Structure 1
């Protein structure tokens, strides 16, 4: 159109001087040149927008370049939306990884850290930002890990000490991509401790049961192979009965522990008068003491506890019977109950026994832990009594406190929270 218009104008201008054809040619060329110049300017505007201001709206160009600009803008906007969508997905994925209790480390082919989650940094003692692009073996120097990483045999995880030697960290290595590796870290301190506890428990149970079985086996063999007088026979049968009762007590305590650990916490809808529970505890303690100790019981001002009566009676009875067993003849055992200002109840058992050294106190509630193993067996203890007391207290939302001093006796206190304690007057008012 520009060329035709230029040719017409050139022919019109050249006609009076006889250069009609030449004027038309020059006019057509000028028109085409003008069109090319205008298109060039539009293209320059479009290219500038594309390289600098593509985040803004496309320039309003007419003709072909306007259509090109419009289509380009649509394509760029679509690309931006896809990029934002993928960025959001990546952010969600990384957030999910950060929320995991396990850590993740991505290594490149040179064993340099490409990315590290916060939990992995905590497990391995790394800094998420500072240690990026650092070689992992320069930062985690545990020989077992370095050897495992270079072995290229990643079927099993490797176990290393945690930062500053605290705890245990398990690391699983998985190769991916072009020589890249993924490290999955997990804090297995609690699992290792539980495994060790289970191993110790099985070993202790085996030892505790094997001892009386060995004694019984020896006595049976003696009675079968040797002629015994009636006095000797009576003595042997008495010792066999003692070992049998010891084994029965051990099995009974093991069953109690298994039931406590495997059942739900007692509901707070069954109220037990402490005096009622205490009466049975007193009877057992008087029979065990047989007049050898001064026993004193004060069950408090009409208190009631919410929970399992059998469990609470077992816990208090264990503490009182232990106090009687370990207190020398002529000593005293005092049981008192009082209501604290915060509404919680304390059942306190105080004896005048030999006392316990401070280093033993933190471990007293461990299964089969004994301050003096031979003395515990002589007194008929199974080594599980305080474990049972602790479990019962915790199942009722409370705790077991222990204090002692060598030569001055010991004090064991069961604390029951206020939500499971009430006085008889309050109970009567509620019922009315």
Structure 2
């Protein structure tokens, strides 16, 4: 502002000097000077406002400047409103951009934006984890320079993205299976979506193993049955031999029946994920049923002990709890050699939790097998397991029943000394 006034004063002084030199008459000079001054006032006002406007534009403070008077007031006001609207639009756009970025970051899938040359324009943190990328470091780098898997490079070069691509052994430890697909957008850009399908791959492998195991378990008794039937049909056997073959066939039929029943039980448990009901289960009655079944299965070959150290009952589904308890007791008897002992106990711990435990003096289980015992058809010793008559589904059933009753299945075992299987129920499942 001061410099503008200085320049204006200099111009006025020069005008005075020029007028005096031309006219050499102070009267005429003052007249001309007065006219110039009157004409210069609007120019000075305009110059001052332009200088103010320039200063506010350079300082980015147009929306906060004070309004002048006269026709400049409307100009300043409209300019202020225009700047405020533009800044509001910019803020809104930035907020939307931040929301989109937050949404992409919250996505469980990896997202990579590529330009027309397959250079990384942006990626979220999940994609960084999947591919070992760093957005700050790798921005505008060609993605095929960073992910050098031949099938991935070929997928990008073909430019045919109708089908997704599966990349296995990804991640820092090579444990990830990633399903990715590119989607064109904009001007030759691509959006790369990446999904972690490791669990799906494992589930599919488990499904294949399950089908294979069921087929194998069913094929053995069916083969035996068919062999006996062919023998009975083709040979003229004595009555004693026929009875022996029929007993063997009945045994194999019962084995298949047990397997089918366990499969149906397991399917029902897996389909029903809701917590079990809170019906009162009388432990005294339950222990009596378990004892009768155990004595029938043992045929007097084991020392059996059934002890209830608390009168507290259990809240849950009686049929399911009986199935879980019965599986633990029958497993202990089957895997414990003759003259061994099996101890079944119901008690309360110091935290008010109910504990049902089965302790045997069997061969025990090595520690590397303990974490896999509840897998379907998992057996420590396959040949010996079939001899005991088990289906390989008992502990899987126990695990699902314990989950529905919010219980813990705890396993302790020492090779050569025996094992203890315990179901620990929360105090909310204990009845007075």
Please classify the TM superposition score into its range, dividing by the shorter chain length: 0.7 to 0.9
Q: Is 1:72 matched with 2:85?
A: no
How many Å apart are 1:50 and its aligned residue?
Answer: 2.5
1:246 match: 255
Q: Is 1:46 matched with 2:45?
A: no
How many Å apart are 1:290 and its aligned residue?
Answer: 0.5
How many Å apart are 1:228 and its aligned residue?
Answer: 1.9
1:113 match: 120
Distance 1:86 1:339 in 2: 62
1:9 match: none
Q: TM-score with structure 2 length normalisation?
A: 0.87
How many Å apart are 1:227 and its aligned residue?
Answer: 1.9
Q: Secondary structure at the match of 2:190?
A: strand
2:338 match: 329
The 8 Å contact of residues 144 and 159 in structure 1, kept in 2 or not, is answered as no
1:5 match: none
Change (3 A) 1:267 1:257: closer
How many Å apart are 1:378 and its aligned residue?
Answer: 1.4
Q: Secondary structure at the match of 1:165?
A: coil
1:314-393 matched pairs, under 5 angstroms: 314-393=323-402
Distance 1:407 1:35 in 2: 110
Structure 1 unaligned spans of 5+: 1-16, 428-432
- After alignment, is 155-164 or 331-340 more displaced? 155-164
Distance 2:296 2:66 in 1: 103
Out of 208, 212, 215, the position equivalent to 1:203 is: 212
1:419 match: 428
2:103 match: 96
- After alignment, is 182-191 or 146-155 more displaced? 146-155
TM-align CA RMSD: 2.3
Change (3 A) 1:55 1:162: farther
Q: Is 1:406 matched with 2:406?
A: no
Out of 70, 73, 92, the position equivalent to 1:63 is: 70
2:17 match: none
Q: Secondary structure at the match of 2:49?
A: helix
The 8 Å contact of residues 326 and 379 in structure 1, kept in 2 or not, is answered as yes
1:155 match: 162
1:6 match: none
Q: Secondary structure at the match of 2:138?
A: coil
CA deviation map 1:215-265 (0-9, x unaligned) = 222222222222222122112111111111000000000011011111243
How many Å apart are 1:177 and its aligned residue?
Answer: 1.8
Q: Secondary structure at the match of 1:218?
A: helix
CA deviation map 1:136-160 (0-9, x unaligned) = 2333333332332223121222222
How many Å apart are 1:280 and its aligned residue?
Answer: 0.8
Q: Secondary structure at the match of 2:306?
A: strand
Q: Secondary structure at the match of 1:412?
A: strand
Aligned length: 405
Change (3 A) 1:158 1:211: same
1:5-20 matched pairs, under 5 angstroms: none
Out of 227, 248, 262, the position equivalent to 1:218 is: 227
Structure 2 unaligned spans of 5+: 1-24
Distance 1:386 1:267 in 2: 18
Distance 2:345 2:148 in 1: 57
Distance 2:363 2:181 in 1: 52
Out of 129, 135, 140, the position equivalent to 2:147 is: 140
Q: Secondary structure at the match of 2:94?
A: helix
The 8 Å contact of residues 266 and 308 in structure 1, kept in 2 or not, is answered as no
Distance 2:53 2:377 in 1: 85
- After alignment, is 46-55 or 192-201 more displaced? 46-55
- After alignment, is 56-65 or 312-321 more displaced? 56-65
The 8 Å contact of residues 53 and 62 in structure 2, kept in 1 or not, is answered as no
Change (3 A) 1:42 1:139: same
- After alignment, is 180-189 or 107-116 more displaced? 107-116
Q: TM-score with structure 1 length normalisation?
A: 0.87
How many Å apart are 1:37 and its aligned residue?
Answer: 4.1
Distance 2:427 2:75 in 1: 78
